[in-house]
Structure formats: structure tokens, C-alpha cells
Chains A and B, each alone.
Chain A
Amino acid sequence: MRHMLASCVIGCVGLLAPSTPLAAQAGPPTKVALTGARIITVSGADIESGTVLIEHGIITAVGPDIDIPFDATEIDVSGKVLFPGMIDPHSARGLDVPNENLPVAPFLDVYDALDPSRLFFEDALRDGITTVHVIQANNLVIGGLSRAVRPIGLTVDEMTIQPRIGLKLATTPRSGYDRMRQMASLREAFDELAHYEERLAERKYEESLKDKPVDVGPAEARERGKALVKDEDYDDRHLNLMRLRRGDLAAWIYAGRATDVGRAIALAEEQGFLEKSVLVLGPESFKAVAEIKKSGVPVVLDENLFFRDRDPITRELIEVFVPRVMHENGIAFALQTHPSGSMAERYLNYQAALCVRNGIPRQTALESITLTPARMLGLGERLGSIEVGKAGNIVAFSGDPLDFNSWVEYVYIDGILAYDRSKDHRLQKLLELGRANESKPASPEEPPAEAAPTDQPAPESGGDAPAESGERRPDRPQREGGRP
């Protein structure tokens, strides 16, 4: 906590410095041509056999017949399927803790808590994710600034794609709160901001008079002083909230239950940032689909794509596939991964495949892990598809990305080969271990887990596990009879 606050200032300075594009500073080739592969562009039609040319980290040509410059490194990826690098739209797993104790803390920045050495990033790369939106988890009232990062780099600055994307808010109560206190805290923060701005304007007007006596009443002074207030006059507690209200920052609002959705939209509308809002939903939130549709806000769906409940009278099981509800109502949705690393849901392409299996058109499902989250992050011009002008973030699958037999073979980030399965020693060890276990049943003297420490993603448990335990799950449906 203190470390985070102390480095806040340094962090802010760091933010101002333009982040150096990886491609420019690295030694690897500046021009890369990936040839002979099937290309799923997402933004346009698939190309059965074509070439992607990446120059200085940016895609400069895509198509079946491309003139490859003489100085470009030609890499034959025939037989592979090229897919845009996938985007994890909402993850706190790059952070050392997902949430602070402080319920209202808009002055924080994930910059201070991002740990480039976390195995999560390595896993992300292995799974074909090239952009992670690192944002605080849901257990808060108002959180700090988020940023989009690549899963590669030795420092946060090196990783950063886009700093200061948005603030995290929640209308679903944080732990120890109920909805009354959660909403009171949210209202308090914005009322307090308005109060602060009035006092600030009044003070600025009085200061502008120099030594002259104040000639107007406080209300008039506040009105006149408004124009005199500059961004740097704001203190840390209010600066980011002001930016949010002004539209400089996006609001990522967690509404874990249907009843929280309307309150999130009302708050965003009242404070004027509805246009720049994204709703992060829980499994039950789809019931408020009418409100979501009316607001036009895009949503990030819960990693559990099915909503299951029992009818209180008949005890019949109710099952709803949430993406379908969103799709049928024309709501833009992005998928996120399951925070516990052992589930199939940790793979974005699995989540998309699940959508296709349950009746979502393939194109919509593919967009929900690429273009849609890119647009939500305000990076729709830079990421999310294989087209000219976008970053050279490309995943080469061994087969169709929605086929679960396909492996991620290569990952290119800004045209640099960031992952090569043939050189993924951890994965190979893991697979060897699996094979060894298959052929030789585990004996009690030699539990297979003992061989694991260096090879399995298990070490993550030391880093990410507390983060997971701090992750708040949407509260259970209340008993109808109320609390005992």
C-alpha cells in the first residue's frame, strides 16, 4: 500500500514519457513477412493462403499476392492459421493484489502494482493473448487507473500499450458493504467532488483578485472562478474523478447482479460518462438486458457463460446461455477468462468456441475476443484484427483457433516473435511429465507433484493465488424472505 502510494508520483512521471515501441529498440528484423498461411483477419474475409507483411511493428500489407521487400525476413508459416492477437479485456492478475482495502481510491494506478515477472503474462502469451487490460478487481467502490499492456517486457513501461484507460467502479457491494452503503459511498464521492470543485473555483477567484477584497458573493465567485481552475490545481483525490466526468477516462463499472445494472447506468448518466462506460457483468446481470440495450453500453461478460438457477416454486433448473441473450439484443460483448488457471475457461478461444457451439455466429464470437474488446479499450484503430495500419500482433495457430486441438505455435507482438512453442521449455516439461505419468502410474513414494515446482504453472500459486482469493465473486441470490 505505502509502496504503491509512494511510487504514485514517480509513476505519473513515467506515464508522461512516451513509451518506446518495442520494435524500434529491439535488434530483431524490422520487416517480417509471414507467408503461406490461412489468415483470419476478423475485420474482413478470411484469406485461404496469403502473406502478412509487418514493417516496424505495424502491418503494412495483407493479402494473397504481396510483393515482399528484398530486406524483409520471410518466414514460411504455411499450414498454420494466422489470427489477431487476442485481447483479455478485464484482468487483475497482473497485479500483486487485485484490490486495496480503501473502498474509494481513484488516485491509484495499476502501474504501481503491475509485476512484469508474473507467470500470468507468460501463460497469456502461451494462450495467444497479446493484450491484457490490467484493471483492479471488483471488490471496491471506486478504483484506480487501468492500462493495456503486452504480456512481454521487463518493465511496466516496456509492456504498456496504453496507459490511463479508465477507472474501475462497482455498484455491486464490496465485501462488508451492502448496496445501501455501496451506493451511498458512490454518491458521496461524486457529491464531494462537486463540493470540492466549487470551493476550488471560489478559492481560485479569490486568488485572482490578488489583494483586492472579494467583491461578490460565494455563488458568483464559484461561477467566475470555474474558468480559472486548471488540471494541476486538483489534488490527487479528485483529479481522476474529474477526468472521468470530463470524458478523458473510461468508466469500467462492475454490475455483478441484474439489480446493479440500472444503478450503474443511472450513475454514469447522471455524472455524464455513459458514453465512455463499459459494464462488467456477473452471470445473473443479463436479466437487465433491456436496460443495457437502451443504454448502448458494451459489456464484458462473466467468465462463466451459463446462468443457472432454480425456480423458487417448482425447483426446476433454469439455464441461460448469456452471450446469446446479448447477441440477440444487439449488445456488443467481450469475453474474459476464468481466473483459476486450471479450467478450460482460461482460454479465450475456448470461450469463443463455446459461444459458437451455443448458437452465436462465428464472426461475432471471434470479434468478442479481438475487435470488440479492442474497441472497448479505445484501441480499435490499433488492435484487434489483421489489417493494414494495425499493430503486428499475430497468433499462428496449428489449426482453426476455435478447434481445441489447435496449438498456439507462434505469437508475434509488434512484429517480433514473442513465443515459439518449439522453444517453450515449460510446456514441453509439462507435457513430458504428463506422458511419464501416463505410462507409469504415480506411486505413493514418488508423487508426481514433487517433480513439478520448476515446470508447472504451480509456482503461480505463490503469486497469483492470493489475488484470486481476493477476487470477489458476485454475491449469491438473497433468500426471498430476507435475512434472518
Chain B
Amino acid sequence: MKHAIVAFVFALCALMLSPAPAAAQGGSFILRVGRVYTAAPTGAAVFEPGVVIVRDGRIASVGGSGHALPPDLAIIDMPDATVIPGLVAATSNLAGPHPGEESISGAYHAADEFDLFADYRPILAGGVTTVHLSPGDHRLLTGQGAVVRLGGRADARILQPTADLTINLGESSFNPPRIVDLLIPPSPDGMIKPSRPQRSASRLGQFIALKEAIESGLKSDERDDLDVHLASLGRAWQEHRPIRIQTHRAADLEGAIEYLTTTQRPGYLVGGWEAAPVVDMIAAANIPLVYTIDADFRRPGSDRGADPSTLDPNLADLARLGDLRLALAASSRASLEDFRLTAALAQRAGMDEQRVLAAITRIPAELLGVADRVGSLEEGKDADLVILSGRPLETSSHVNRVYIRGRLAYQRPAADATIVRAGTVWLGPDQSLRDGSILVESGRITAVGSRVPHPPGARVIDAGESAFVTPGFIDALGHLGFDGDRSQLPAEISIASTLGPSGVVEHRVARSGVTTVFTAPYSAAGTGSQIAAIKTAGPDRASRIVSPTAGVVFDLSGVDHASIEGRLRPRLEAGKRYLDSWTKYYKDLEEWEKKRAAGEATTPAAPAPRPSESQQEQAAVDPITGTWSGRVSGGPMPQAQEGKVVLQLNGTAIEGRVVEPPVPVGHRIVATLTGKTFSGRIEVDQAGFPSPTLEGTLVEDDRMTGTISVMGFAANFEARRTDKSAVEFRPTVRRATAGKDGRPVAPKIDESLEPIRAILEGKAPALIDVRTPAQIKAVLDLAEQWKIAVILLNATEASHHAARLSDKGVGVIAAPSVLRDTRTGPYHQADDLSRRGVPIAFQSDGEDAARTLPTVALFAVNQGLSPDAALAALTIDAATMYKLHERIGAIAPGRDADLLIFSGHPMDAESTLLRVIVGGREVPP
């Protein structure tokens, strides 16, 4: 109870320390990540780890690990994430083609087509934040392009309303429709004119048509009738709008270069599937090229056919464009959502990561005229940031967050998945995986290998080349959670039911690398005490329990070897009878169900005599019978609890029930009255629930005080009788040999025998503290006779029976101290037994002393134990002894995700424990 409160306070502190999401919304924050790709033309290209400081939606500075952090900003810490600038798509299908007929027009503005309020998160999820809008590729001069942003406030979404004049050369724009000029309103004075043809129909005509149209547009002021299409073209031309020429054919590319050179206009080429033959010409003219990669991931492509004139883009051509100023874009068919993957294909043509990244961020931003705002992570630019789970061009990387002007514009819904990558993954003695990955989903390991699936949204912990991952360490016997309580606990008490969320003490142990502790009372009861396997970190009881009854510990170290059998046999025999009653029940039940399924009439058993719990009306008023209201306070209770019980006196026997607060399980108060005092307990019909004991005194008429204690805690109670009328109890437990329809009735659960039953069923071992060879022999004989699993605790003289232990696979939990002085010198028990094939495990015999277990193991290695044997003792061997190797102690699919990431082999003195993951959750430092 006490540590539960501490744990709560601790959790609260942790919450306050972690960055509040609201702070990140404000547009000012510090981003601390694993890697920063700046895409800047000068300075460092990558900071690893890196820091991006964002202030009022702009990048204030970018730097490495030593970068000074302003104290006034919230820190967003994502040690595994990679930050890149928002990608800039120089082509898109978000606008156009416009439905106008005009072959040449400056009046169509692609910016008009942009939906300022649309939700573009599906595209942002691909990492693209800035997009070029084209008025279309179906006319010679389709209009004016625009550059927009796909998120943020509506009024700030358009970066460049008139970014370029878009020209399309080649077949796509040949033979435009004829134009009909209607006379509106019609009048007899006007004639209906025939429709007017438009240029161009050939390569020759396209430049003449452009020249004429521009000249006409420039002189439109002198004409009587206004042609807005040419007039707006004239204005755009005068304003020196960049020229964007979209074409693929080598011939058209040549023409485009010629056109840009002779008109001396700034401009760039888009498309370029046949650019390779004219690469020298493009380079000589120093004209940038946006190469569109033809890739469509979502469905198979279209047929190209046998026509030799069909364009056949070949990604390998990209290698021949090496020296050009190159931006990359996706061909118009591809979805913008896949832009990052499309660009990553350029690596096949030999472009390196840095060059590809620049070609989809900084260079297109420069070409589109928005490089002063976006395209790289440099001081003063807008904080359009994309946060990835891994390297920017890796297939398995995913965009997890997108910030636009420092505001969160997209966040991938968190997947309950983590991927741990490391140079070495330890799978067992002499068995490890180089460059391995571990996929963790919902707290369990689901895949281990050199390449594991990467679910989108998964967190990727890339621990690096030298990192070494092991299963979480196991303390084979400790007392974590007992808080110094040294009282003996009888066998029926389950320790697991007293657990809460992990607290400070547990956290200390977890951070040392010990993720599971087999915890037992300091001193075992004669009938044995239960052992619970618990995790050292977890938000609640359910997540912390590995096994509520992992074993039973008997302390027989002081018992003469001849008496050992006599001490254990009665328990085992009682357990056997109990087990048999259950075996019979299950057998009967199976038969009964078979019969019922067969439709056989089941004979109703004769009604069993019910134990009548109803009481005769008691005429005389006794000092107990009636309703009592009171409160329980003190001891472990954080606050007083009001309550109400009804009691009934029958001779000297008191029986009762708790009325308030309502108790969800069956229970009864059983006590005996002697004079003015009474004593008894509350029996609870719930497996593993301890029965609180009661001691009380009637201090005056209708008033009682006393103590209620459970598991070493005690609280005071006092109560007053509010009603003296007798209450009839409805029997809560009805026992009969058979139910109404002949269904067999289950035996009564005996909490004290349940653990013995688990041992006899082979589900849990018996831990026996023995020292001398004779004691060990007696235990082993008994185990063989009863066919039960045992673990020898301490067993300082186990080496005498090493061969038998090794043969039978009986494990030994080594004595807490590594070396023991003997007449022949220091004796290294763990090393000795391990070499002789006996499974060993380490114990802390303490609470948070478990934190030193890794150091103890290190010393054991220092004194001769093999490092892998030490690791096995801390992990898989301990788990196997307890028969929990299917859950803990190994890195394999299906096991709990308890992982330790070390900087090197854990048994190297210089290795540090970098990260601890318990049940899939990282334990914060």
C-alpha cells in the first residue's frame, strides 16, 4: 500500500517531466532527435544526434549534441527519430488540367484550383509538405503554376500564387480544339463567325505560336477588344515569371533549351525521360531539370506496346544525368503519398542518400522560387519538419509526425509496436544474431531476425552496430515488495495479490537490468511459502504478474537429513488427496458432459442436506446480534474507511457479513466470543485472497473496538450497533455432491493446498533450502519418488551430487555470495556447478538489492565463470528452472518483451546498460 502511493507520486512526476503536447502546438519548441538531415547547401549535412530549435514557427537553429538549448522552450525528445525538411514535390496532380479551350493563355491560375481548407493529412503522411500545382499539360501554354503548402492555416497555405508560366512541348499539346466566338447578346449587326483554329500542330509551330502570342499579349493595350488570355500572358511575361517547360522528348528538350537561351528567361525543365542524349547541351546551358520518376506502387502499370516511338523511361538513364542540377519528382500518375518511396528508387541509378534528399527538398524549392521559406533546415526558414522512424530513404521507414510552421499537422496514430535493432542479439549460450532486429507488439516479442516486419507507426530503436541485446535479467529469489516485513507467511497467502504499479524501489531494480524477480517472504513457513514471479516495471498489477504462484519455498536448511522426508511428505500427501479430488471432479464432469451430449437422462442426485445458516429468532437481546456501523483507520489505510456489518451471535460463535461497502465476492465473518473479547477472521471465497484476522473488545454496550490485520498490516476499527434486530443470512456457499441436473460439483478450493497441487501437477517447482550433501540427497530422492520438480536453494555442498543434478536437470540457485571460504581455499560455487553441467541461477536475497545482481554476475565472471554461462544463469536458466521459459528469459517470438540494450557484451566491464524495456515499455532513466 505504501509503495503504491509512492509509485503514484512517481508516475505523476514522470508525467510532468515529459513534454506536454500542448507546448508543442505553440510553434516554439526544441526537437531533440537521433538524426537531423539539414539538406542545406553548406555546413553539416547530418547531425547525429541532432537538435532543431523552433521559435514562432521558424527554425531558430539546428545543431548537434552540444548545441546550446534555450531554457524557455519545451523539449520534445525523440531519441530514435530522424528529422528531415518537409519534402517538396515539383509535380502534382492536385490541380489541372483546366477545361478551357485556349491553346495559349496566361489567365488560368493553378492556385485557384487549390482547396485551402481540405485535409491533406494522407499526403502529409508521406512526408510531402510543399507541392507545385500545374494548370495542366494538355495545352501549349496552360497558364500559371503555383506553389502551395498542404497544411496549416488556410490563409498561409499558398506560398507562391503565380510561380511560373507552364509550357508543354510535344505531342500532348498538339492540335488544340477550335474556338467558337459567340456574339453575346446576339444582334443583327454581328455575323456568326466560323470557329477559329488554334496553334500548334507541330514542333515547328509551337515556338512561333508562343512568340506571336507573347507579342500580341504585350500589345493588348493597343487593341480595341480585350483578349484576357493573351493580356494576362503579356503581364506575366513582363513580370519575368520563370518558364517551366514540361517535356520528355530529346527533340523538345533541345528546343526548350534553345528557347530559354534565346529569350534569356529563367526557367527549368520538367520530365526529361529522353534527357540522357542531350545531357551535355542541358549542362552547357546550365538549365536545371526536374526528372520525373515513372513509378506507380499501388497498381500494376499500363502496357507500353510495340510502338518504337513510345516513350520508355529507364531509371538507369538517371545515372547519365550526373552533373546536372537535378530535382526529382514523381510522374503525374503516381500518388503523392508515395513520393518518398518514388525518390528512393533513384538510389538504384547510383544517386547517394544526400543527393536524393537534396533533389526532393532544397533543389525543387529553389526551382519553384520558395527556397527562402522551405526546402532545408536552416535558420530563418519555416519549420516544416518531417519526423521519420528511420533513415529518410529506407523502405521500412515511416513518417510519424509532420510539423508545418512549427505546428503539428500530422501525427500517425501510435501503433503498439517497437522494433529494436542492434549489432548483436543474444539468443542463448553460443548463439547470437548479428545485425538483428526484434519486433515487439503489445508487450510481446512477435518476430526476431535480421529483417523483421515494420508495421507503420512502429517505434524504431536503432541501438547501433556495437549494441548488445539480452533478455531481461532474473533474480531467482528475492523479497521485492515486502518492504522489510519479515513475518512468516503461510502457504495460502498469494503475494501477487498485494502488488500495485511499480514504484521507486522497483524502478531502481529495473534500471539495473533485473526485469523479473521471484519474490518470496524472508522466512518461509514450515508448510512452505508461495513464490510469485513479478516484473520490476509496469503500470498495474496485471501487467506486473508473470506467475502468481511460481513455486513454493521450504526452508529445510536446519532440518536433519533423516527428517526431511517426514517434513515434506504430509504436505505432499494432503496435496495429492486434494489433487485427486480435482482429478475426479474433472473426470466426472467430462463423463457427465458426454452423457448430456448423448442425450442420456441424468439422474438427479438426492438433495443433499444443506448446511442451514439461518438462525432461529433470538428473543433475548444479546451483545452482538444486529447491524454495526463503524470505521477502519490507521495502519496502511491512506484514509479511514466507513463501513457497515451485520453480525449474529449463536452461543459463542459469531457469524456476519460486510454490508457496506459492497463486497463483490462471497465472504463471511467468523469469530468466537469469549467474555468481552472476540477473535476471528473474514473468510473470502476468492483464490489467493488472504483472510484478514479480527481481534476486538466490547468496550461498552453496543460499542466495540479492535484491530483487523492482514499480511502483517494492521488497522484499527471501531463500531457502534445501530440496529439490534437479527438478520437472517442467506447461505452464500451451498455444497452438495451433485447439482440439480446431476452435474458434479467442484471440490472446495483450498488456498493452502493450491500451490502444492501446482507442484504435483508439474506446473511449478518446489524450492528447497538445503545445505549438506545428505540433505540434498534426501531431497533428490523425495523428488524422484514423487516425480516433482525441485530447485535447490543455496545448496552449498551441491558439488557432491553434481553429476546427479546435471543428469536430472535439477537447478541450483547459488548462494548469494560468489566465493565461499573453505579449508581448501575460496570455492566458486556457480563456476564449479556450471562447468559440471548443473543449471545455476543467481539470487539477491534482498529487495532492491536485486539491482546489484549484474555486478555480482560480473564478479562471478571475473572469478572464472564463463560470460555466456553467467548470462544464461541470469536469464534462460533461471526461467527454465521455474518452468517459465515460455514467457521470460529468452528473445524469441511469443516471449515477453523484456529486453536490455547494452553498449557491448554485458559481462565486459566497460559495457553500459543503455536502455531497459519491460513488457514492451521502455523504463525511463
Contacts and interface: CB of A to CB of B under 8 A. Distances in A.
Interface centre among A199, A291, A480 (most CB of B within 10 A): A480
Contacts of B204: none
A483 interface: yes
Contacts of B123: 480-481
A407 interface: no
A317 interface: no
A268 to B, nearest CB: 16
Contacts of B110: 180
Interface in A297-336: 311-314
Interface in B42-100: 92-96, 98-100
Contact of A184 (B100, B117, B413): B100
Interface centre among A263, A287, A481 (most CB of B within 10 A): A481
B112 A182 contact: yes
Interface stretch (A171-179, A240-248, A344-352): A171-179
Given A478-B115, A478-B118, A480-B119, A184 B108 contact: yes
B180 interface: no
Interface string B208-240: 000000000000000010101001000000000
B118 A259 contact: yes
A178 B99 CA distance: 7
B contact face: mostly helix, strand, loop, or mixed: loop
Given A180-B95, A180-B109, A237-B185, A188 B116 contact: no
A482 B185 contact: no
A314 B414 CA distance: 12
Contacts of A179: 112-113
A288 B94 CA distance: 20
B99 to A, nearest CB: 5
A314 B121 CA distance: 11
Given A184-B228, A188-B228, A481-B123, A176 B118 contact: no
A284 B123 CA distance: 21
Interface string A165-195: 0000000000011111111100110011001
Contact of B121 (A176, A287, A312): A312
Interface string B3-25: 00000000000000000000000
B108 A107 contact: no
Interface string A396-425: 000000000000000000000000000000
Contacts of A46: none
Nearest to B131: A482
Contact of B154 (A288, A477, A482): A288
A311 B119 CA distance: 9
B184 interface: yes
Interface in B182-203: 184-186
A74 to B, nearest CB: 54
A258 interface: yes
A143 interface: no
Contacts of B108: 180-181, 184
Contact of A180 (B92, B96, B122, B231): B96
What bracket does the count of chain B residues touching chain A fall in? Answer: 35 or more
A24 interface: no
A274 B224 CA distance: 30
B115 A481 contact: no
B109 A262 contact: no
A472 to B, nearest CB: 15
A180 B336 contact: no
Nearest to B338: A481
Nearest to B94: A482
Interface in A457-483: 477-478, 480-483
B120 interface: yes
B335 interface: yes
A183 B116 contact: no
A483 B94 CA distance: 7
A481 B186 CA distance: 43
Contacts of B224: 199
A287 B92 CA distance: 25
Contact of A5 (B115, B186, B337): B186
Interface string A186-226: 01100110011001000000000000000000000000000
B155 A262 contact: yes
A102 interface: yes
Contact of B98 (A178, A236, A262): A178
B846 interface: no
A147 interface: no
Contacts of A313: 121-122, 125, 413
A38 interface: no
A318 to B, nearest CB: 10
A102 B116 contact: no
Contacts of A477: 115, 118
B117 A180 contact: no
Interface centre among B99, B107, B112, B231 (most CB of A within 10 A): B112
Given A102-B184, A192-B228, A314-B413, A482 B336 contact: yes
B120 to A, nearest CB: 5
A257 interface: yes
Interface centre among A5, A179, A188 (most CB of B within 10 A): A179
B423 interface: no
A39 to B, nearest CB: 43
B98 A312 contact: no
Contacts of A311: 119
A312 B228 contact: no
A258 B117 contact: yes
B112 A183 contact: yes
B690 interface: no
B473 interface: no
A169 to B, nearest CB: 15
B228 A176 contact: no
Contacts of A481: 93, 122-123, 335-337
Contacts of B155: 262, 291
A284 B226 CA distance: 36
Contacts of A259: 114-118, 154
B95 A257 contact: no
Contacts of B186: 5
Nearest to B101: A181
Contacts of B99: 176-178, 181
A180 B119 contact: no
Contacts of B121: 312-313, 480
Contacts of A314: 413
Interface string A422-451: 000000000000000000000000000000
B885 to A, nearest CB: 40
A192 B110 CA distance: 21
B626 interface: no
A6 B123 CA distance: 53
Given A178-B99, A183-B112, A196-B226, 5 more contacts: A176-B99, A180-B98, A181-B108, A313-B121, A314-B413
22 contacts: A178-B98, A179-B113, A180-B98, A180-B109, A182-B112, A183-B112, A184-B98, A184-B100, A184-B228, A191-B231, A192-B228, A237-B184, A258-B115, A258-B117, A262-B155, A287-B154, A312-B121, A478-B118, A480-B119, A481-B337, A482-B93, A482-B336
Q: Which 8 A-B pairs have the closest CB atoms?
A: A482-B93, A258-B117, A183-B112, A195-B226, A180-B98, A188-B228, A184-B107, A259-B115
Interface of A: 5, 8, 102, 105, 107, 176-184, 187-188, 191-192, 195-196, 199, 236-237, 257-259, 262-263, 284, 287-288, 291, 311-314, 477-478, 480-483
